[in-house]
């Protein structure tokens, strides 16, 4: 079923007014007709099963049939602190991180960040990144539109991680998989998890120590060194699987749990 995002201001009682580019997409691309159903989502976890009912001037009207909480969100808030990579890699990372359940992506400038940030172009870049996040959320059926934060310095990222209950840093020199296994086993019991990923050159030893000194777990992804655009997505995949499996197990009747 087709899904679109709305703001709360578009809802009036039992009717939602569809505006902007979605009007053209619904009418001329999807060629939907009155009576067809769609899901309209507020991007904050509430979705409305609606029936297209007609026009409201240049806009469209949809009648709310059912209001419900989105069932596509993880029970744990995942925040990806991504060392700023070169070229358009950040766009791929944002798209896939959203598909894998991340609630927020925070670009971070580290000691080994190669790309130079231009304050004059940052606002435009952030707007593009946020649009990619919204598109990925729509494609993957997310009930919440993840936020792409402003570009932070490493010290600013350290300060932000204090607001997250459980943090890990991916480091190619981390030894053994046991810390990673334990980290994943505790994931579903957390309210929020932060994952730090370095840029192409990785983190310096001093940066790793600074994150670990604030309580983060140093994590290995195995014997192979993964690219920056692969490492964070690999960890998000494992976290998603662990959290979803634990949630599913908790929902099963006691007698079915083995």
- Both 209 and 89 in one domain: the answer is yes
Q: Which of 32-46, 57-71, 241-255 has the lowest mean pLDDT?
A: 241-255
Q: For residue 61, which phi and psi values (nearest 5 degrees)?
A: -115, 140
Closest to 202 in 3D by CA, of 232, 171, 230: 171
- Both 34 and 149 in one domain: the answer is no
- Both 57 and 86 in one domain: the answer is no
Please check whether residue 116 lies inside any domain of the structure.
yes
DSSP-derived 3-state class of residue 164: coil
Look at residue 251 and tell me whether its pLDDT is greater than 80.
no
Give the Cα separation of 94 and 230 in Å (integer): 12
- Both 65 and 82 in one domain: the answer is no
Q: How far is CA 14 from CA 11, 44, 57, 70, 207, in A?
A: 7, 19, 18, 19, 52
Is residue 217 within 8 Å of 169, Cβ to Cβ?
A: yes
Is residue 166 within 8 Å of 186, Cβ to Cβ?
A: yes
- Both 34 and 82 in one domain: the answer is no
- Both 156 and 230 in one domain: the answer is yes
- How far is CA 209 from its chain centroid? 26
What range does the domain containing 20 cover? Answer: 3-69
- Total tally of structural domains belonging to the chain: 2
Look at residue 252 and tell me whether its pLDDT is greater than 80.
no
Look at residue 208 and tell me whether its pLDDT is greater than 70.
yes
- pLDDT above 90 coverage of the chain, percent: 83
pLDDT tens digits for range 10-30: 999 899 999 999 999 999 999
Helix axes 228-251, 89-99, angle to 10 degrees: 10
Give the Cα separation of 39 and 65 in Å (integer): 10
- What is the predicted pLDDT for the residue at 117? 75
Give the Cα separation of 187 and 182 in Å (integer): 9
Residue 74, Ramachandran bin (φ over 0: left; ψ between -120 and 50: alpha; else beta): beta
- How far is CA 64 from its chain centroid? 27
Closest to 61 in 3D by CA, of 10, 106, 116: 10
């Amino acid at each position: 079923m087709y899904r679109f995002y709305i703001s709360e201001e578009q809802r009036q009682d039992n009717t939602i007014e569809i505006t902007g580019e979605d009007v053209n997409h619904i009418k001329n691309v999807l060629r939907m007709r009155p009576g067809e159903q769609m899901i309209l989502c507020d991007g904050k976890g509430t979705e409305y099963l609606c029936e297209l009912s007609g026009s409201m001037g240049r806009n469209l009207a949809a009648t709310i049939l059912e209001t419900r909480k989105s069932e596509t969100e993880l029970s744990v808030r995942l925040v990806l602190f991504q060392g700023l990579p070169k070229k358009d890699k950040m766009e791929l990372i944002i798209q896939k991180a959203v598909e894998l359940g991340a609630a927020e992506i925070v670009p971070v400038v580290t000691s080994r960040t190669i790309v130079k940030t231009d304050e004059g172009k940052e606002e435009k870049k952030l707007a593009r990144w946020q649009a990619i996040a919204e598109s990925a959320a729509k494609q993957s059926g997310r009930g919440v539109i993840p936020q792409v934060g402003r570009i932070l310095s490493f010290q600013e990222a350290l300060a932000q991680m204090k607001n997250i209950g459980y943090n890990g840093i991916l480091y190619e020199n981390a030894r053994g998989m046991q810390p990673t296994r334990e980290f994943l086993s505790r994931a579903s019991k957390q309210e929020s998890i932060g994952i730090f990923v370095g840029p192409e050159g990785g983190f310096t030893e001093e940066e790793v120590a600074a994150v670990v000194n604030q309580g983060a777990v140093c994590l290995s992804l195995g014997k192979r060194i993964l690219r920056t655009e692969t490492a964070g997505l690999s960890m998000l995949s494992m976290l998603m699987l662990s959290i979803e499996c634990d949630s599913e197990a908790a929902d099963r009747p006691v007698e079915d749990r083995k």
